[in-house]
Amino acid sequence: MEFAARITGTGSAFPESRITNDDLAQKLTKLGVETNDTWIRERTGIRERRLSDVENPAEHNSSLGCEAAQKALEMAGKRPQDIDQIIYATCTPDTLLPSTACWLQHKIGASRAWAVDINAACTGFVYGLAIAEQFVRTGQAKTSLVVGGEVFSSILNWQDRDACILFGDGAGAAIVEQVPAKSSRRILSCHLHSDGNLWELLYIPAGGSNMEVTPERYSQHLHKIKMKGKDIFKTAVKTLEDFAVRALKQNQMTVDDLDWFVPHQANIRIIEAVAKRLHLPMEKVVINLDRYGNTSAATVPTALDEAVRDGRIKKGQTILFDAFGAGLTYGSILLRW
Ligand code: ACO
């Protein structure tokens, strides 16, 4: 029997420490790296970001995910025991073993669930939601918890000013529930793709099974991200447009049918370029990167949560999620709220 899937609750959580561009510039100056608020604001749209204190267990990735999930459960009117599956999208897990999803399960007390991490970098939440939708739509799960959470600061080289100014930490969560197949309020379509040929645009050389972190590699920052920002920028603009168009076409819709566009929050100039190509007014775009930077898998669910909670997103509206990330990975999801 076929069903449909609907998001019935959202939540988000961020570390306490708020680092403005000026704070960051001061920190980097001490490392001999020059940057400033004007450059960061004008080139990226970011004003500040939140950074986790790794000494504080409450700010570990799974703890932020747990707080976001508790808020999402509350909105959905569900308990942890109602969760059938936990899909945790992250590329900065608490530990390699066990998964961050299992840490979250332990912390939240979702004793009935099975739990798994997925890594699609910044597209992670979109991938996770698409996976959850499959299980829910085919009747194999009734209630799914999808989290996008990162402590991205743990993989930043603070001497690489191209990259380190872009990212922040945080987590967003969604409860996905089974609804009748004919329900108008549901996930309407999912489009996913990846291009492994573009691995070199954003990767971490060491720390996986193919390259151990030795003292020498540590001093060379090989356990931190390496990014070709300009190349990602160009690819991102094209693929975000492409995946938005694919979603609209499949549902016989045009941009005018969209109430809200929730793109991955990497750089305001990427988002503005995509909106322009789609002829989509910026008033319909949900933005939170000015206050949180690029939180990778957490950008889409935290932006969504903010717009749901402040009343911008209303029942029956049509929303498009659109993301790209390391891999490279791409994906879009169209839904009716
Ligand atoms: N502060 C001050 N100056 C800087 C900084 C900085 N933080 N970074 C670079 N500059 C300088 C450069 O050295 C260069 O100087 P030059 O002209 O003297 O050579 C100048 O600013 C311009 O540099 P560009 O690299 O041309 O800057 P650009 O406008 O391309 O912006 C950026 C760089 C912000 C990285 C942009 O390319 C971008 O956002 N790319 C996308 C990155 C991205 O989205 N990554 C995440 C992927 S998603 C995931 O999976 C995590």
pLDDT tens-digit map of 232-272:
999 999 999 999 999 999 999 999 999 999 999 999 999 99
99-153 pLDDT, tens digit per residue, is 999 999 999 999 999 999 999 999 999 999 999 999 999 999 999 999 999 999 9
Return the ligand 1 atom nearest residue 236 CA: 44
Is 232's C-beta closer than 6 angstroms to any atom of ligand 1?
A: yes
Residue 325 vs residues 2, 167, 292: alpha-carbon distances, Å = 31, 13, 17
The span from the CA of 202 to the CA of 187, in Å, is 30
2 — pLDDT class (breaks 50, 70, 90)? confident
Cα separation, 332 vs 245, in Å, equals 9
Catalytic residue among 66, 91, 102, 122: 122
**Predicted pLDDT of residue 154:** 98
Task: Label residue 173 by pLDDT band (50, 70, 90).
Answer: very high
Mean per-residue pLDDT, 78-100: 98
Active site residue 294: yes
Sign, CA dihedral 228-121-63-93, equals: negative
User: How many Å lie between the centroid of ligand 1 and the Cα of residue 93?
Assistant: 26
CA of 225 to the centre of ligand 1 (A): 14
Which atom of ligand 1 is found nearest the CA of 161? 7
161 Cα to the center of ligand 1, angstroms: 8
* Distance in angstroms (rounded) separating the CA atoms of residues 51 and 65: 15
What backbone torsions phi and psi does residue 201 show, to the nearest 5 degrees?
Answer: -70, -25
Q: Label residue 1 by pLDDT band (50, 70, 90).
A: low
- Per the annotation, the verdict on 122 as an active-site residue is yes
List C-alpha distances in Å: 321 to 142, 269, 332.
22, 18, 5
Residue showing tokens 């690489």: 160
Structure tokens that stand for 316 in this block: 């029956």
Pick from 100, 208, 91: nearest CA to 152 = 91
264 part of the active site: yes
Q: Ligand 1 pocket check: which of 26, 161, 162, 169 to mutate, most ligand atoms within 8 Å of Cβ?
A: 162
Q: How far apart are CA 151 and CA 15, in angstroms?
A: 9
Does residue 233's CB lie within 6 angstroms of at least one atom of ligand 1?
A: yes
Is any atom of ligand 1 closer than 6 Å to the C-beta of 39?
A: yes
Neighbours of 298 (CB within 10 A): 37
Question: 174 with 301: CB under 8 angstroms?
Answer: yes
Q: By three-state DSSP, how is residue 83 classified? A: coil
Is any ligand 1 atom within 6 A of the Cβ of residue 121? yes
Task: Kindly report, residue by residue over 295-326, the tens digit of the pLDDT.
Answer: 999 999 999 999 999 999 999 999 999 999 99
CB atoms within 10 A of CB 208: 12
136 lines ligand 1 (CB under 6 A): no
122 Cβ closer than 6 Å to some ligand 1 atom: yes
- Only one residue has tokens 């749901």, namely 308
**CA separation for the pair 204, 135 (Å, rounded):** 31
Q: How far apart are the first and last CA of the chain?
A: 23
Name the residue with the closest Cα to ligand 1, atom 49: 325
Tokens of 58: 């409450």
> What pLDDT sits at residue 29?
95
Question: What are the structure tokens assigned to 8, written together?
Answer: 């019935």
CA distance 99 to 85: 14
Q: H helices within the chain, ranges in order?
A: 21-29, 37-44, 61-76, 100-108, 124-137, 161-164, 215-219, 229-250, 268-278, 289-292, 299-309
d(CA 280, CA 271): 11
Give tens-digit pLDDT for 208-233.
Answer: 999 999 999 999 999 999 999 999 99
**For atom 47 of ligand 1, which residue has the closest CA?**
325
Number of helices (H) and strands (E) in the chain: give both, helices first: 11, 13
- Facing residues of 144 across strands? 85, 176
Contact between 329 and 120 under an 8 Å Cβ cutoff? The reply is: yes
Burial 93-119 (b: 16+ CB within 10 A, else e): bbeeeebbbbbbbebbebeebebebbb
Query: In this structure, which residue's CA is closest to atom 2 in ligand 1?
Result: 35
| pLDDT the model gives residue 169 | 98
Q: Write out the two tokens for 135.
A: 């299980």
**pTM for the complete prediction?**
0.96
Q: Is the pLDDT of residue 334 over 80?
A: yes
pLDDT for position 329:
98
